Structure 1
Amino acid sequence: MTRLAALDLGSNSFHLLVADTRPRGRIKRVTTRKKTIRLGEPVSRTGRLGSEAFGRAVEAFTTLVELADDEGADKVIAVGTEALRVAEDGPEFLQQMKDRHGVPVQLLDGLDEAALSLKGMACALNLPPEQEVLGLDLGGGSLEVALGGTNGMVSGATFPLGGAKLVDRISDPPRLHERAALHAMAMELIQPAADKVLAARTTPDEPLVALATAGSIRDIARFGLALTSGSAPAKVRGMMVSREQMELAYSRLCSVDAHDRMDLPGISSKRADLLPAAGISVLAAMEAFGLQSITLCDWGLREGVLLDLGADGHIVDHDFVVDREDRRG
């Protein structure tokens, strides 16, 4: 058994997952931690993290690395996503973290991010080997889609449609014409790619099962379930939510401002302001891919990173994996 730690440096939050390896390439969670630092908005506005977000990122990274050490992680891998991919001062941040903590950061491209998220979801939901699914992962900076299953991604796409990237384009609450314009823009980006991804299906005559991960999607889905069933579920893994429920939730979310949104069932106060923008992205994706429902999952990118690492996969670059003793030395 080896104890692994993954740092997922997202556009909205930095996440830590510590997990133990298990037989047949599986993992068992030991602990998780999240630090919400909101890198996506300054990067979207200025192209840079800027001093305030840079400082928040340093503090969060330090806290999570120290927690990984406290939990006895034998190996640490850190991966960066959209905000760190595009920020002009992103390389400076990455170099500082390597110098201070001995942890280099592998910047994932969007397709690798999509493939790893699919790997995490497929494992969590115990998909049979022959099952073909579409995975959706909506972060603060980007939306990833991946077609495939337990054997990996067959086709995928990535879009700059994260909630934090889009939030400045609409009012709070958003006006109808703003929502319509943003939806049209999202469809213009997604539809051509969706057609190409769907053309790669191996079972085109079968209904397409869609899996979805990420906090924004789960919040909207929980609220939709609360509106139709009377309560928001605490655990959502494997729960199916219809497009109608998602649309109903989105309409209600857009009828109030962020402050009032925080009081709605199933909504996290830390992302309440992002949900109208995030909702446009997920609903546009459902429309473009012809999805009538999604199945929710609480595993995604960071679980996929550790699964890929534990199974000696081809996405995680082992040059970025740091042994505990090497860091201490």
Structure 2
Amino acid sequence: MRLGVLDVGSNTVHLLAVDAHRGARPLPAYSYKAALRLAELLDEGGAIGEEGVERLVNTIGEALEAAEDKGCEDVMAFATSAVRDATNADHVLTRVREETGADLQVLSGEDEARLTFLAARRWFGWSAGKLLLLDIGGGSLEIAYGIDEDPDAAVSLPLGAGRLTAAHLPGDPPDVQDVRALRRHVRARIGRSVGEFARFGPPDHVVGTSKTFRQLARIAGAARSADGLYVQRELSRTSLEEWVPKLASMTAEQRAGLPGVSADRATQLLAGALVAEAAMDLFDVSTLEIGPWALREGVILRRLDRLPPS
């Protein structure tokens, strides 16, 4: 069957259509993506402005039309931190439902972490042992740890690259003092959660998912996305520590010229790098592997698990 998953994230609205059935690997068939950067459209009161809501409604409508054109039998639509944290979330969800027919399910931060962990576990398998997952989105950082498919611990922190950039790094390039202040803020926030995971012992394998980790690995020398899903890609803390001051000295336009960095993500790459560096340092991670599957795949896998046996 062909399934669609519509992910309304803090950076993008992304429709992924896959051909799948229970017990099989879902095969990507079509992808539609639009950059809205909702995390940066929140006003001072924490609401998504009417212009942002209008753009969101139109984009979801276009994505649903694409899903219909591509033969999706069902579309699972969900929203993450940008909508979840908006003070006018109910208004946004009502507008979307009334004007597009999509009933967006708002995932909790812990649900995000658990579903992304499931995707990483299925990709890397049982041989990965105790798995530590780090995922940096536009609005939040998800951390999960465990040896089974359901993690023993999972948290979501308000440390997304888009959210932090909008709130803490107004300059281009950013002011040195702003970067230092953000570094302290990020490390203090992650530091409060380290103890919750430390009691389980060190992980056997550490995985980083999300566009931020992929871009950081790419500028540090990892293979291109065009080389395929099965090429191993890693990011070392040493490389990241070398790149953070370089990124801090660059303008967004200069960062967009780096290999693998898209123009729409260049502005927030520094904030993402500060979060990645802090997480790897505080969790004592020397190297992590980039995981190609993340939240969307986790949603699909959970849906397939609930299908009756064929």
Normalising by structure 1, we get a TM-score of 0.86
Alpha-carbon deviation of 1:46? 3.7
**1:92-107 matched pairs, under 5 angstroms:** 92-107=91-106
Residue in structure 2 matched with residue 186 of structure 1 by the alignment:
186
Whichever residue aligns with residue 176 of structure 1, its letter is: V
In the alignment of these two chains, the number of paired residues is 303
Q: 2:144 aligns with which of 139, 143, 146?
A: 146
1:117–1:235 distance in 2 versus 1, CA, 3 Å? farther
Residue in structure 2 matched with residue 39 of structure 1 by the alignment:
38
The answer (yes or no) to whether the contact 1:118–1:152 under 8 Å persists in 2 is yes
Higher RCO structure (Cα 8 Å, ≥6 apart): 1
Q: Deviations over 1:33-89 (max 9, x none)?
A: 211001101226441110221122112111111111111111111111111011122
Residue in structure 2 matched with residue 323 of structure 1 by the alignment:
none
**1:155-304 matched pairs, under 5 angstroms:** 155-168=153-166, 169-170=168-169, 171-199=171-199, 201=200, 204=201, 208-225=204-221, 234-235=226-227, 237=229, 238-304=232-298
SS of equivalent to 2:98: helix
1:149–1:33 distance in 2 versus 1, CA, 3 Å? farther
Distance 1:114 1:267 in 2: 25
User: How big is the alpha-carbon RMSD for the aligned residues of Structure 1 and Structure 2?
Assistant: 2.0
Percent of residue pairs bearing the same amino acid type: 31
SS of equivalent to 1:270: helix
Distance 2:212 2:165 in 1: 13
1:235–1:281 distance in 2 versus 1, CA, 3 Å? farther
Distance 1:265 1:46 in 2: 37
The 4+ residue runs of structure 1 with deviation greater than 4 A are none
The answer (yes or no) to whether the contact 1:221–1:249 under 8 Å persists in 2 is no
Whichever residue aligns with residue 220 of structure 1, its letter is: L
Distance 1:101 1:286 in 2: 41
Distance 1:244 1:130 in 2: 23
Distance 2:72 2:305 in 1: 17
Distance 2:24 2:97 in 1: 29
Alpha-carbon deviation of 1:23? 4.4
The answer (yes or no) to whether the contact 1:3–1:72 under 8 Å persists in 2 is yes
Residue in structure 2 matched with residue 89 of structure 1 by the alignment:
88
1:243–1:190 distance in 2 versus 1, CA, 3 Å? same
Whichever residue aligns with residue 218 of structure 2, its letter is: R
Alpha-carbon deviation of 1:140? 0.6
The answer (yes or no) to whether the contact 2:131–2:203 under 8 Å persists in 1 is no
The answer (yes or no) to whether the contact 1:37–1:57 under 8 Å persists in 2 is yes
Distance 1:86 1:164 in 2: 14
Q: Deviations over 1:124-173 (max 9, x none)?
A: 33x22662111111111000011125522110111101111111312222
1:4–1:11 distance in 2 versus 1, CA, 3 Å? same
Whichever residue aligns with residue 262 of structure 2, its letter is: S
SS of equivalent to 2:41: helix
SS of equivalent to 2:177: helix
Distance 1:77 1:66 in 2: 14
Distance 1:129 1:197 in 2: 20
Gaps of 5+ in 2: none
Distance 1:277 1:140 in 2: 10
Residue in structure 2 matched with residue 316 of structure 1 by the alignment:
none
Normalising by structure 2, we get a TM-score of 0.91
Distance 1:44 1:165 in 2: 12
Q: Deviations over 1:198-222 (max 9, x none)?
A: 21x2xx3x65421111112211211
1:290–1:45 distance in 2 versus 1, CA, 3 Å? farther
